Amino acid sequence: MSFVPSLDLTGLQTLDREASVYEAIREDIISGRLPANARLIVADLAERHGTSTNPIREALHQLRGEGFVIMAPNRGARVRPIDEDFIRDIYEIEVLIEPALTKWFVGIATDENIATLEALHAEMIELNYADPVRHGLLDTQFHHTMYQRHYNRHAVDLWWKHREILRAISRRHRISLGRQAAVMREHAEVLEAIKAQDENAAAAIIARHVEGSGRHIIEQMRAARRDIQNSKAELPPYT
């Protein structure tokens, strides 16, 4: 039987015009339709998305906060390159944040919390990555269960922002079988550490988990770039 906690994280995304414009521009940046260093002209984007300039400005402001857009005086807004350095910067911050959130959670975890984590983990095992979107939701709920009650809301908000960025980027890349197995193993290990009330072990496992995910995205990005280069090299010469 499918288990989903009462909190539906998909409901956190608003469905108004500004949210849809923001998501469309972000997807264009991640996919490369808006290439690195491209100028982002508000009037052009408004025409492209069939909206007024206000939702575009709001979207660019939000994307700047997430690191997707760079704004410089007298130069306007430009697309930040989505490269290995961008991913590295994010996961190096998360390696500091998530273990601290996890360590605190171990001290307050209830039987109900643990039952929720076990049910989510069991469903992910049963799903076995057959539905990547569903797996992503379950994985997010797994971590949100641990972090949602933390007193440092700035840390939780930053985790959520980074989570959404990495989720959006990783959607374009295949998760290797090795990484799939590692994710399931690390979830099981952190569950055991939580049940044993071993906060240091739980924090160390989550640190390894986050770093592994970040490194995997970088490896997949490099592999995709090599594939593109190889395909170009195989093209017959123009005559």
> Which fold would CATH assign to domain 84-232?
Four Helix Bundle (Hemerythrin (Met), subunit A) (1.20.120)
> What pLDDT sits at residue 17?
59
What's the whole-number mean pLDDT along residues 142-155?
97
d(CA 147, CA 104): 9
How far, in Å, are 29, 55, 176 from residue 25 at the CA level?
A: 6, 11, 28
Q: How distant is the alpha carbon of residue 179 from its chain centre?
A: 16
| Region for residue 206 given its phi and psi (left: phi exceeds 0; alpha: psi -120 to 50; beta: otherwise) | alpha
> What pLDDT sits at residue 233?
67
CATH class of 10-79: mainly alpha
Q: How confident is the model at residue 73 (pLDDT cuts 50, 70, 90)?
A: confident
d(CA 108, CA 146): 10
Q: What angle do CA 201, 207, 27 make, to 5 degrees?
A: 145
The model's pLDDT over 167-190, given as tens digits with 9 standing for 90+, comes to 888 888 889 999 999 999 999 999
pTM assigned to the model:
0.78
> What pLDDT sits at residue 1?
45
> What pLDDT sits at residue 4?
43
Structure tokens that stand for 232 in this block: 């170009």
Does an H or E element contain 51, and which? none
The model's pLDDT over 85-142, given as tens digits with 9 standing for 90+, comes to 999 999 999 999 999 999 999 999 999 999 999 999 999 999 999 998 899 999 999 9
Determine the length of the chain: 239
Domains of the chain, by residue range, sit at 10-79, 84-232
